[in-house]
Amino acid sequence: MHMKIYLDESGCTGCKFDAPYLKGGSSRFLVLGFVIVEDQNEHLLKRACRKIYKARKVDFKERELKGHQLDNSAACQVGNIMRKFAVKEDFFPGYIMVRKENATPGLQTKGNLLYNYAAKIGLMDFIVKQNKVQLIADKRSLKIAARYSMGDYLQTVASFHCESNVDLTITYEESQNHEGLQLADWISNFVWRRFENEQRDPYNTLYKNMLIRKHLFSPL
């Protein structure tokens, strides 16, 4: 079976906590959000996105609707539309949340390692059970992951540490060209809001339908 994983993140990989986020400081949390779908069901990602754009009265051909642009009410509307597809198992949302202030010093000082380690913790248990996996990450993430190749890292862990024969490929794509990346953006943003800003409502719309929910360096 050929599975695809679309991956995006919210928050940053920095660990400067003595100033507010975006005002000289870093986010307290990093969230990797993802959408898992069988290759044969990928067309349903487009269907879900079209419903969301129509509900928000946004022309998908003119601009991309980002998670950070949605207020609480709009985010809940988007989450509820995604949930209806997840309930039918057309695709599976999931996430890993990283509480960065509790990470080891070595990971705090090397954001690319923290990112790749989080991807491993969040996805490896699923990846090694598959025959073939294509991981598609937002192209913006390339500047983080490329410093220490996420692809090589995950393949090494799968093949040697987990003794899996999974055929794993990783590509970096523009989110406006892939509905799966747009869904992953919304998921990561809604989860990040929950932990960074205590804005729980969008997160709660999807919580029960998350295939993978993992918290790293956090007692939550």
pLDDT of residue 146: 56
* Three-point CA angle 165, 167, 171, nearest 5°: 145
Give the span between the Cα atoms of 128 and 111, in whole angstroms. Answer: 25
pLDDT for res 24: 93
pLDDT of residue 57: 95
Instruction: Count CA atoms within 13 Å of residue 94 on its CB side.
Output: 23
- Residue 40, CA distances (Å) to 91, 174, 217 in order: 11, 21, 36
Q: Which CATH class for the 2-216 domain?
A: alpha beta
Spans of all domains in the chain: 2-216
pLDDT of residue 148: 54
Burial class (CB in 10 A: 0-12, 13-18, 19+), 39: exposed
Residue 26 CA, chain-centre distance (Å), reads 19
Pairing of strands 167-173, 132-138: parallel
Distance CA 212, CA 209 (A): 9
pLDDT digits (tens, 9 = 90+) for 144-193: 555 558 888 898 999 888 899 999 999 999 999 999 999 999 999 999 99
pTM of the model: 0.94
Q: Which amino acid is at 144?
A: I
Rg, Å, the chain Cα set: 17
